[in-house]
Amino acid sequence: MTTKRWGLMVFAVALMVFAAVASSRGWLRPIDSKTLMHMQPGSYAVKQFVDGDTVMVDMQGTTETIRFIGIDTPETHKPNTPVQCYGPAAAAYTKNRIGSQRIRLVSDALTTNRDRYNRLLRYVVLEDGTYLNKELVQKGYAFAYAFPFAKSDEFHATMEQAQKAKAGLWGNCAPYQDPNTGQWHTPSEVADR
């Protein structure tokens, strides 16, 4: 064995011994997920909650509107569209679920970076690692989109489970599917009264 390799091996063993001693004496502590999220690039504070599938974040001094990839929650603020059944519930759930924590934004290789309204399209990941987009579908606050995206199969399977369980809007509204686009919608809240 060469002197250089021997030296590297001794250094590696010494480093492992130091790490074991430091860990056993409490010198090294794991970083909690909130601290890690604050240090991580792509982690942002939400400035404003628009509705169940849209938030606004501060990206280094620029306000960006983030549209959640792959999902659609019932409308609450769309011009010329009445508030839809379960729209306010979806908006409240998103706001409560995110709260004051930071979110990580993840793009999707199968979608465009921005939609036609110039909103960034992203998966929203919470501090605990939860993909909020999928959770909204799972709990019956959102529909999976009909167009292709990387997690399309996973989100559609999740939506079928929510539908069978009558979770959220599936048990409280009368969702219908647009035969032309394949997109799901809920009726207006006024129609439900």
Domain positions in the chain are 33-192
In the predicted model, what is the mean pLDDT of residues 42-49?
Answer: 91
Express each pLDDT in 50-90 by its tens digit: 999 999 999 988 999 999 999 999 999 888 888 999 999 99
- Do residues 103 and 40 make contact, with C-beta atoms less than 8 angstroms apart? no
119 among known catalytic residues: yes
- Pick the catalytic residue: 75, 102, 127, 135? 75
25 among known catalytic residues: no
Q: Kindly give the pairing relationship between strand 120-125 and strand 62-68.
A: parallel
- Pick the catalytic residue: 97, 119, 154, 189? 119
- Do residues 138 and 161 make contact, with C-beta atoms less than 8 angstroms apart? yes
In the predicted model, what is the mean pLDDT of residues 93-104?
Answer: 96
- Do residues 146 and 138 make contact, with C-beta atoms less than 8 angstroms apart? no
116 among known catalytic residues: no
> Hey, what CATH topology would domain 33-192 get?
OB fold (Dihydrolipoamide Acetyltransferase, E2P) (2.40.50)
Express each pLDDT in 122-176 by its tens digit: 999 999 999 999 999 999 999 999 888 999 999 999 999 999 999 999 999 999 9
- Pick the catalytic residue: 64, 67, 102, 104? 67
Please provide the DSSP assignment of 82-112 as one string.
PPBTTHHHHHHHHHHHHTTS-EEEE--TTS-
